[in-house]
Chain A
Amino acid sequence: MSLLEIKNLHASVNGNEILKGINLSVNAGEVHSIMGPNGSGKSTLAGVLARRESYEITQGQILFNGKDLLEMKPEEAACEGLFLAFQYPVEIPGISNAYFLRTALNAIRKFRGEEELDAMDFLPLLREKMRLLEMDEKFLNRPVNEGFSGGEKKRNEIVQLAMLEPKLAVLDETDSGLDIDALKVVSKGVNAMRSKDRAMVLVTHYQRLLNYIVPDFVHVLVNGKIVKSGGPELALELEDKGYSWTENEPVGARR
C-alpha cells in the first residue's frame, strides 16, 4: 500500500476549481517532484495535503498511511506524520524558536504515545540539526522566523523537518528566494532526511532544485491536472522545452 494515495482530487477556492482530478501515488522511500507553471495548482495541492482550510474539496479521496486525510484536522495530519515546509514561513513574535519546536515535537510525540522530551534532551538534538543547516545558535532563542532573512526562514523550515521526522515531507517552493549557497545547504539538509521510511514531495517551479535533490519521479502539473510523469530526465526536458511543450502532449502519456 502506498504511503500517500491521491485519487481523482478536485479542489476549489472561492468556487474556482483549481485542482481538476489529480491522481498520484507515493511510496515510502520515494522522492517525487511536482513541477508546473505559475497558477497550475502546485501550492494548492501542497495546501490541501496539509489540510489548509481555505480549500473546498469537491471530489476525490486522499489516503495517507491508509487513513482518510480529508477527515483530519491540520494538527492531526501533522501528528500522523505529514510535514509541510512552507513557501512563506510565518513569523510568531514573542515565541522562541526552541520553545515552539519543543512544543511541536512533544505534541507529536504525545500523539505517538511517546514520552515528552524535556529541555535537557531536546536542546542537544536541536543544536545538532541547526549545525547541519549551518544555522547560528542565536536562532534558538529568537522568536520564530522574526527578523530572519528569506534564506534563514527556509533553513529553519528544514531544521523543523529534521526535528519532527515526518513520514511524508511536502516542500512547497523551498528553493524560491534562495541564493546558490543557501540552496546547497538546504538541499544537503533535505538529502540527509531521505530514507527508505520517508517520502518527499517537492513542489517547485524550477528544475535547478532537482540538481541538488534528485527525485525518483517528476510530475508535470498544468491547469490542475498532472499531464506528464517520468523520471528525473523529465525535469531536464522541461527546462529545455518549457511548460508549453507538455500542454500539447496527449494525457495518456503519463505513467
Chain B
Amino acid sequence: MSTVDQIQDLTKQEYKWGFVTSIDEDRLPNGLNEDIVRAISLKKGEPEFMTEWRLKAYRYWSTLEQKQAEPTWANVKYPPIDYQGLCYYSAPKQKKELKSLDEVDPEILSTYAKLGIPLHEQKLLAGVAVDAVFDSVSVATTFKAKLAEAGVIFCSFSEAVKNHPELIKKYLGSVVPYTDNFFGALNSAVFSDGSFVYVPKGVRCPMELSTYFRINAQNTGQFERTLIIADEGAYVSYLEGCTAPVRDENQLHAAVVELIAHDNATIKYSTVQNWYPGDKEGKGGIYNFVTKRGKCAGKNSKISWTQVETGSAITWKYPSCILQGEGSVGEFYSVALTNNYQQADTGTKMIHIGKNTKSTIVSKGISAGHGQNTYRGMVKILKGATGARNYTQCDSLLVGDKCGAHTFPYIEVKNASARMEHEASTSKIGEDQIFYLQQRGIPKEEAVSMIINGFCKAVFRELPMEFAVEAQKLLSISLEGSVG
C-alpha cells in the first residue's frame, strides 16, 4: 500500500460528536421578514433601541439580498442558500429562571458531558468559567460571582442588553457596523444570543473566559453575537470552542464578534472550532461565515486572535485588527485544517492607522483528502501609520495528492516608513519523516499527528495551556484515518 493510499485512509474517521439531543424547542416559522425580526426581539424582551437596530440591519440586508449581493469572492463553492427556507430562532424551552446547574435540563448537561465541557463546579477550580450557549440561548453561566468580585461583566448578550444597555448602545456595531457585509448584516438583524464581556479599568480578568457553542436544532441557522470590551489597562483572555452534531442538511452559521481594547488594554481571543465538517463524500456540514474584528482603539493596546479551525464544511473567516491607537499591536495565529471535502478561506486583515503600530500574522494551513485551504490576508498601512511594522508567515502542508493549498496575500502601503516581512512555504508531509518516526516505534497515525503538531507549534504555543492540549487532540482526531 503506498503512502498516498494510506494518507487517503487517514481521513476515514467518523465525526465523534454526532448525537442529537431531544428537548422541546421553541421556534419561529421559517423565513425572514420584518415580522420575524420583531418577533425575535420581542421573544428576547429587548428594549426599543435594539428592535430598531435589528430592523435597520434587516432592511440593509434585504437590499443586499435583492441585489443578490452575497459575497462570491471567496475561494469556496457551495449551492445557493435559501434564506427564506431557514429558521431564525430556536430556543430550548425553559419554565423558569435557573438558579444553579442542578436545575439545568439533565439531557443538556449530558450533551455537554459528551463534549467534555467543564460545566461542573469542580471544573471551576481549573479556572474556567463557561457561558454555555445551547441553540442560541444561554442556559447556564458559572463563576459569575467570582468575576463580579473583580468587576468583570461576563454574561449572555441578552442579559447585557437588559442589564447594561448603556454599554451595548455605546459599543454594539462600533467595530462591525451592520452595513459591513452581507453576513454581518444578517447577523445584526437576527442574532439570537452570544456572550458579552466588559473588563473595567485596570482589571486583569482573574480567569480564562470560555464559551462553548453548540448547534442542535435541525435547520436552524445560528447567529451569535459577541462583544468584548477591555477598558484602560485591562486584560482578558477569552476562549471560544464549538462542536455540533451530525446533520444531513447544511447549517448556516453567521456569527459576529467585536472586540474593543482601550489604552494599554489587551484582549486575547482564542477559538477552537470543531463543527461538523460533513461526511467523507462532502455531504452536510456547517457553513461557517463569520465576521470577527477587533479595534485597538487606545494607545499601546493589543488584540491577539488565535484560531484552530478543524471543523465546518465551509469556513469564511477573517479575524482582523484595526490598529488605531498609537503603538497598538495586532496578532493573528491560525491553524486551519481541511479534510475530506472541507473548504476553508480564512486569514486576517491588519489595518494600520496609528503610528508605530505592529502586526504579526502566522498562518498554518493543512490540507488532506480533497480539502481546499485558502489563506487570504490583507495588510494595509495607512498614510498616518508612520513606523508601522508587519511580519507575515504563511505555511501550507499538504497530506496526500488530492487536496489544495492557496494563498492570497494583499499588501497596501501608503507610508514609506513601513517595514513589511513576508515568508511563505508549501510542503508535502514527507514519507521519510513518517518512516523515521515509525522506525523509532511510533505508530503511523501518531507519527503523522506529531509531524502536523510540530508544523503548528508556533500557533499552539499562543493558546492557553489546557486548550493547546485540546487543540492537539482535535487535530489528531480530525486527521485520523488519513494515513493507514
Which positions in A face B, CB cutoff 8 Å? 50-53, 73-75, 77-79, 83-84, 86, 89-95, 100-101, 103-105, 107-108, 111, 143, 160, 164
Contact = CB atoms under 8 A, between A and B. Distances in A.
Interface residues of B, number: 26
B379 to A, nearest CB: 25
A51 B450 CA distance: 20
B443 interface: yes
B113 to A, nearest CB: 28
B438 A95 contact: no
Contact of B451 (A89, A92, A160): A92
B415 interface: no
Interface string B412-453: 000000000000000000101101111111111011001101
Contacts of B456: 94
B454 A94 contact: yes
A103 B443 contact: no
B441 A84 contact: no
Contacts of B443: 75, 107
7 contacts: A50-B435, A50-B439, A92-B437, A94-B453, A100-B440, A104-B437, A104-B442
B457 interface: yes
A107 B441 CA distance: 6
A104 B451 contact: no
B3 A53 contact: yes
Contacts of A73: 438, 444
B453 A95 contact: yes
B458 A90 contact: no
Given A75-B441, A104-B441, A107-B443, A53 B435 contact: yes
A-B pairs, 3 with minimum CB distance: A94-B454, A94-B457, A104-B440
Given A74-B435, A90-B433, A95-B451, A164 B440 contact: yes
Nearest to A146: B454
A62 B477 CA distance: 36
Contacts of A84: 439
Contact of A103 (B444, B450, B458): B450
B455 interface: yes
B454 A143 contact: yes
Nearest to A81: B441
A26 B430 CA distance: 32
B452 to A, nearest CB: 9
A111 B441 CA distance: 9
Given A53-B2, A95-B457, A164-B441, 13 more contacts: A51-B439, A53-B435, A73-B444, A77-B439, A78-B441, A92-B436, A94-B456, A95-B450, A104-B437, A104-B442, A105-B441, A107-B441, A107-B443
Nearest to B6: A53
Q: Which of A74, A78, A83, A103 has the most CB of B within 10 A?
A: A74
Contact of A89 (B436, B442, B447): B436
B451 A103 contact: no
B440 A92 contact: no
Contacts of B454: 92-95, 143
B258 to A, nearest CB: 33
A49 B451 CA distance: 24
Interface in B95-134: none
B441 A108 contact: yes
Contacts of B439: 50-51, 74-75, 77-78, 83-84, 86
Contacts of B446: 103, 107
A90 B439 CA distance: 12
A115 to B, nearest CB: 16
A143 B451 CA distance: 11
Interface in B353-406: none
A143 B432 CA distance: 16
Contact of A75 (B3, B444, B453, B458): B444
B400 to A, nearest CB: 16
Contacts of A83: 439
A205 B178 CA distance: 72
A75 B438 CA distance: 5
Q: Which of A52, A95, A101, A111 has the most CB of B within 10 A?
A: A95
Q: Which of B433, B438, B439, B451 has the most CB of A within 10 A?
A: B439
A102 B453 CA distance: 16
A103 B453 contact: no
A107 B444 CA distance: 12
A93 B440 contact: no
A81 to B, nearest CB: 10
Interface string B1-25: 1110000000000000000000000
A107 B435 contact: no
B450 A78 contact: no
Contacts of B432: 90
A129 B221 CA distance: 58
A160 B440 CA distance: 9
A92 B430 CA distance: 10
Interface string B180-200: 000000000000000000000
Contacts of B455: 93-94
A240 to B, nearest CB: 35
Contacts of A78: 438-441
A79 B440 CA distance: 8
A86 B2 CA distance: 21
